[in-house]
DNA sequence: ATCTGGCAGTCGCATCAAACGACTGCTAAT
DNA sequence: ATTAGCAGTCGTTTGATGCGACTGCCAGAT
């Protein structure tokens, strides 16, 4: 017979694998040789398909849940599928429209932006939406203000260049007059404006000596303040929305145990935050700056996420990566659509952040 | 033979019902007559028990899931159990200690207090903790401040007497000088201090005429500001924590569907908030001000909560009920312990709120 | 008047075998 | 290289059967 070139055979095999993963994602049933022969339009008999399937299984892309069953993709199979996904699906125009509509609403603060973004991701994807906020440490202080609340109590408000606002109450050692507060605010702002949050403490304490004569009673306040800026502003926060979506897609998961452990991870945000932070760290180390990254099953690093996949997109402020957003859902998600969504939303968030920079000068 | 007095028989019936509900809550299996004869220590034969069970069933306190099964409490049965619960369990000393420990950490703001409270409720109860924040409308403004962020942008910060702080960015129609900002802040604070949030708008617009000569350009700003105070500060917020607890107690529920719809309600906070608001409204209309209230199954008003119960405690600020907190869990929860917990935490929150009042004067 | 033992009857559930059907892997033919 | 055919494996469905856990009722004991 006519001998086919090896490349062609390889090509066909890959194409078949793509088809299988895609089909499996949609139907969530093991794919059998007979089914492929009928549906895939390859014009091969089921026997031939079986041969190919055996190869793919030996290579670790597919596995059988039990002997007399079809094949399911392994994590390696999903990985192949995602890596060679030819088209990251563009979002439908209507969907884009609706998303932008949401961002058109005036959002002026980082927190609001991130909360809305996680809601959006969850709603559109029908999975859980996650957004990790930039760590405040790297942001620089734009404004720091003490507001008298009566008596010794003041409210301390810090705003950073990236739009983050944090506030917390403090009790002073004395009852300040309005004049004193104004003076103190002026002093503080001169000192900390533009200083990265993580260095506020050093900056303020360094300058403390200079004012000792005039505002001696402020000295310890300023010191305490500097400490609090470091302590309170620093914890980064993780916004997760749409956990209920995951539960209502429970069929997508094999076992309820899997859903439970997934939910538990969502509950203990710290562990998930750690996973996402790793995305940020690793975003610099790659050659090709692929914006959208997919973690399949245990690739994310948590055994609890075995049955899940995570689609993420780091976002930058200026030229530094400051945060990461994405969706968390079943390993059997529609990768193409999800990647498209995450990519799009990620860009919108970046755009919004840089808009804030521009408005600055106005 | 000796005739028993009717009251005694009634008494015994009630006692048995209590025992059954309690036993069912622990074991989650239908309770049968034979089991009762053995375990309840009543010194009656199973046949006699059966007679009593039939009566209780006819009266609507018990039901059989199917003919050849034991009995389960109906909602009415649970209701009886809860209403006649003799001892609302006091929390163990160690548990109280741990809880107070958490509140000892300096919490100066309403938001923080409520978030921590919902976490606490969820952690201790192993159910979901819910806290509905006071509506801002009824609170009065303690302080309102504009903070310049450079250019025309200002950050508007409002603090209320109950410890609520809200902030949002605004763009002015002009670039204010620091002096102008100070003047504006002084003016605004004179006008709105102590005014209920819902009346800020009226107050400010009423006073606008007076300053027109001096600060004509402020007029429209002040108007816009007043509008925003009403709009942004008003939405009350619902804090829910520990949804994962509910999922990991899924065995407590008969059907996964029930867990799903429960989770969905938790996801759409609005509907749950509505239920909780009703608790606030109805808290005034009762003769006996029982602080802890229990809603069993559909009593809460949402069909989705059919399999759940809600234990709540309204909390007051001064003498007005401003919010409600509690736990949400399976209908088969340990009511006694949960009621004790909710009662205790509710009191702590009230205590904290009135502490703030006292600090005020210092 | 109460309680109890006994017994028939109901119903869910676990068990088991048998039949089924969905696959695969292999082999021999094309 | 591909295919048809076939034997063999294994999960799943089905239906029958029996068991056990109940209840309800009644007749007799207390």
Share of chain A above pLDDT 90, in %: 48
Q: How far apart are CA B333 and CA B308, in angstroms?
A: 9
Q: Is the CB of B50 under 7 A from strand D?
A: yes
- Residue A157: closest CA among chain B residues belongs to which residue? B157
Distance from CA of B118 to the nearest CA of A (A): 13
Q: How far apart are CA A115 and CA B237, in angstroms?
A: 14
Binary contact (B143, A155; C-beta < 8 A): yes
Average pLDDT of the segment spanning B139-157: 87
Report pLDDT for A2.
Answer: 45
Estimate in Å the CA B29 to C1' D17 gap, whole number.
26
Distance from CA of A85 to the nearest CA of B (A): 33
Report pLDDT for A289.
Answer: 58
Average pLDDT of the segment spanning B302-330: 93
Mapping DSSP to helix (H, G, I), strand (E, B) and coil, where does residue A108 land?
coil
Report pLDDT for A180.
Answer: 82
- Residue A181: closest CA among chain B residues belongs to which residue? B182
Domain spans in chain B, listed from the N-terminal domain onward: 6-83, 93-134+236-361, 139-233
Mapping DSSP to helix (H, G, I), strand (E, B) and coil, where does residue B238 land?
strand
Q: What is the CATH number of domain A93-134+237-361?
A: 3.30.450.40
Q: Which residues pair with B323 in a beta bridge?
A: B315
Report pLDDT for B32.
Answer: 96
The verdict on domain B139-233 having CATH code 3.40.50.1380 is no
Question: Quick check: A168 contacting B, CB < 8 Å?
Answer: yes
Report pLDDT for B29.
Answer: 93
Taking 80 as the threshold, does the pLDDT of residue B106 lie above it? no
Distance from CA of B171 to the nearest CA of A (A): 10
Report pLDDT for B168.
Answer: 84
Report pLDDT for B241.
Answer: 95
Q: What is the DSSP string of A203-215?
A: HHHHHHHHHTTTT
In which element (H, E) is residue A152 found?
none
Distance from CA of B167 to the nearest CA of A (A): 8
Q: How confident is the model at residue B362 (pLDDT cuts 50, 70, 90)?
A: very low
Taking 70 as the threshold, does the pLDDT of residue B292 lie above it? yes
Name every residue whose Cβ is closer than 8 Å to that of residue A255 and which is 6 or more positions away in sequence.
A307
Q: How confident is the model at residue B105 (pLDDT cuts 50, 70, 90)?
A: confident
Average pLDDT of the segment spanning B128-136: 90
Which positions in chain B touch A251 (Cβ < 8 Å)?
none
Which positions in chain B touch A166 (Cβ < 8 Å)?
none
Q: How far apart are CA B292 and CA B329, in angstroms?
A: 15
- A27-49 burial code (b ≥16 CB/10 A, e <16): eeebbbbebbbeebebebeeeeb
Distance from CA of B154 to the nearest CA of A (A): 10
Q: What is the DSSP string of B163-229?
A: S-EEEEEEE-SS---HHHHHHHHHHHHHHHTT-BGGGHHHHHHHHHHHHTTTTTTHHHHHHHHHHHH
Tens-place pLDDT, residues B82-98: 999 867 788 888 989 99
Mapping DSSP to helix (H, G, I), strand (E, B) and coil, where does residue A158 land?
strand
Q: What is the CATH number of domain A137-233?
A: 3.30.390.60
Which positions in chain B touch A244 (Cβ < 8 Å)?
243, 260, 263-264, 266-267
Report pLDDT for B154.
Answer: 86
Report pLDDT for B313.
Answer: 96
Tens-place pLDDT, residues A23-75: 999 999 999 999 999 998 888 999 999 999 999 999 999 999 998 899 999 99
Report pLDDT for A209.
Answer: 59
Taking 90 as the threshold, does the pLDDT of residue A102 lie above it? no
How many contacts, defined by CB atoms under 8 Å, are there between A and B?
114
Name the fold adopted by B93-134+236-361: Beta-Lactamase (3.30.450)
Q: How confident is the model at residue B1 (pLDDT cuts 50, 70, 90)?
A: very low
Which of B165, B169, B250 is the closest to A109 by Cβ? B169
Q: How far apart are CA A127 and CA A247, in angstroms?
A: 9
Report pLDDT for A301.
Answer: 93
Decide which of B99 and B255 is more confident. B99
Q: Which residue blocks in chain A are alpha helix, DSSP H?
A: 6-27, 33-39, 46-58, 75-83, 93-104, 110-125, 178-192, 200-211, 218-233, 243-248, 256-267, 269-283, 335-361
Q: Which nucleotide is nearest to B8 (CA to C1')?
A: C2
Instruction: Detail the DSSP E strand segments found in chain B.
Output: 62-63, 72-73, 128-132, 141-148, 153-160, 165-171, 238-241, 292-296, 308-317, 320-330
Share of chain A above pLDDT 70, in %: 87
In a mutagenesis test of the B interface, which of A118, A119, A139, A150 is the best target, namely the one with the most B β-carbons within 10 Å? Answer: A150
- Among left, alpha and beta (phi > 0; psi -120 to 50; other), residue A213 is alpha
Pick the closest to residue A183 from A191, A344, A231, A36 (CA basis): A191
Q: How far apart are CA A162 and CA B315, in angstroms?
A: 37
Pick the closest to residue B305 from B333, B338, B336, B346 (CA basis): B333
Which of A157, A182, A263 is the closest to B247 by Cβ? A263
Average pLDDT of the segment spanning B47-68: 95
Q: How confident is the model at residue B220 (pLDDT cuts 50, 70, 90)?
A: low
- Residue B119: closest CA among chain A residues belongs to which residue? A267
Q: Which nucleotide is nearest to B51 (CA to C1')?
A: D24
Report pLDDT for B179.
Answer: 84
Q: Note which residues in 63-92 of chain B have CB less than 8 A from chain A.
A: none
Which of A142, A148, A264 is the closest to B248 by Cβ? A264
Decide which of B21 and B221 is more confident. B21
Average pLDDT of the segment spanning A279-307: 85
Binary contact (A247, B266; C-beta < 8 A): no
Entry field: residues in chain A: 362
Average pLDDT of the segment spanning B130-158: 87
- Residue B181: closest CA among chain A residues belongs to which residue? A182
Give the mean pLDDT of chain A: 86
Question: Quick check: B165 contacting A, CB < 8 Å?
Answer: yes
Domains B6-83 and B139-233 in one fold: no
* Angle, helix B93-104 to helix B110-125, in steps of 10 degrees: 160
Binary contact (B143, A148; C-beta < 8 A): yes
Estimate in Å the CA A147 to C1' C30 gap, whole number.
91
Which of A108, A149, A155 is the closest to B169 by Cβ? A108
Q: How confident is the model at residue A362 (pLDDT cuts 50, 70, 90)?
A: very low
Tens-place pLDDT, residues A199-253: 777 777 677 556 555 555 566 666 677 677 766 666 678 999 999 999 988 888 8
Report, in ranges, which bases of strand C sit under 7 Å from a protein C-beta: 1-6, 9-12, 21-27, 30
Average pLDDT of the segment spanning A134-155: 85
Give the mean pLDDT of chain B: 86
CB B163 within 8 A of CB B110: yes
Domain A6-83: state its class. mainly alpha
In a mutagenesis test of the A interface, which of B244, B268, B356 is the best target, namely the one with the most A β-carbons within 10 Å? Answer: B244
Share of chain B above pLDDT 70, in %: 86
Tens-place pLDDT, residues A155-174: 889 898 888 898 888 877 77
| pLDDT-wise least confident of A83-97, A196-210, A252-266, B333-347 | A196-210
CB B70 within 8 A of CB B35: yes
Question: Quick check: A170 contacting B, CB < 8 Å?
Answer: yes
Question: Quick check: A242 contacting B, CB < 8 Å?
Answer: yes
Report pLDDT for B86.
Answer: 67
Mapping DSSP to helix (H, G, I), strand (E, B) and coil, where does residue A96 land?
helix
Tens-place pLDDT, residues B317-352: 888 888 999 999 999 999 999 999 999 999 999 999
Which positions in chain B touch A147 (Cβ < 8 Å)?
143, 145, 157, 159
């Amino acid at each position: 017979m006519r001998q086919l070139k090896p490349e062609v055979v390889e090509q066909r095999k890959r194409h078949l694998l793509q088809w299988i993963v895609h089909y499996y994602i949609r139907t969530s049933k093991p794919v059998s040789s007979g089914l492929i022969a009928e549906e895939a339009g390859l014009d091969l008999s089921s026997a031939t398909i079986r041969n190919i399937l055996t190869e793919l299984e030996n290579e670790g892309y597919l596995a059988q849940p039990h002997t007399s069953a079809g094949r399911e993709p392994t994590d390696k199979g999903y990985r192949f599928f995602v890596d060679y996904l030819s088209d990251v699906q563009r979002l439908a125009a209507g969907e884009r429209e609706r998303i932008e509509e949401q961002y058109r609403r005036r959002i002026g603060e980082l927190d609001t932006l991130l909360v809305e973004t996680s809601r959006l991701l969850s709603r559109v994807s029908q999975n859980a939406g996650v957004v990790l906020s930039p760590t405040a440490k790297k942001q620089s202080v734009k404004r720091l203000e003490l507001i008298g609340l009566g008596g010794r109590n003041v409210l301390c408000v810090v705003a950073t260049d990236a739009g983050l606002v944090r506030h917390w109450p403090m009790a002073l050692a004395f009852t300040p007059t309005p004049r004193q507060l104004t003076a103190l605010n002026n002093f503080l702002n001169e000192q900390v404006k533009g200083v990265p949050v993580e260095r506020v403490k050093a900056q303020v304490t360094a300058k403390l000596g200079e004012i000792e004569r005039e505002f001696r009673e402020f000295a310890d306040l300023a010191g305490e303040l500097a400490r609090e800026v470091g302590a309170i502003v620093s914890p980064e926060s993780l916004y997760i929305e749409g956990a209920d979506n995951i539960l209502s897609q429970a069929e997508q998961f094999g076992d309820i145990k899997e859903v439970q452990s997934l939910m538990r991870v969502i509950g203990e945000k710290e562990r998930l935050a750690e996973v996402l932070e790793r995305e940020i760290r690793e975003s610099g180390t790659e050659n090709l700056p692929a914006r959208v990254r997919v973690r399949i099953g245990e690739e994310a690093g948590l055994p609890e996420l075995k049955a899940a996949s995570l689609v993420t997109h780091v976002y930058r402020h200026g030229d530094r990566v400051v945060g990461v957003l994405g969706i968390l859902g079943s390993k059997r998600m529609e990768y193409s659509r999800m990647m498209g969504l995450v990519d799009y939303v990620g860009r919108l968030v970046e755009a919004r952040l840089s808009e804030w920079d521009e408005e600055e000068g106005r």
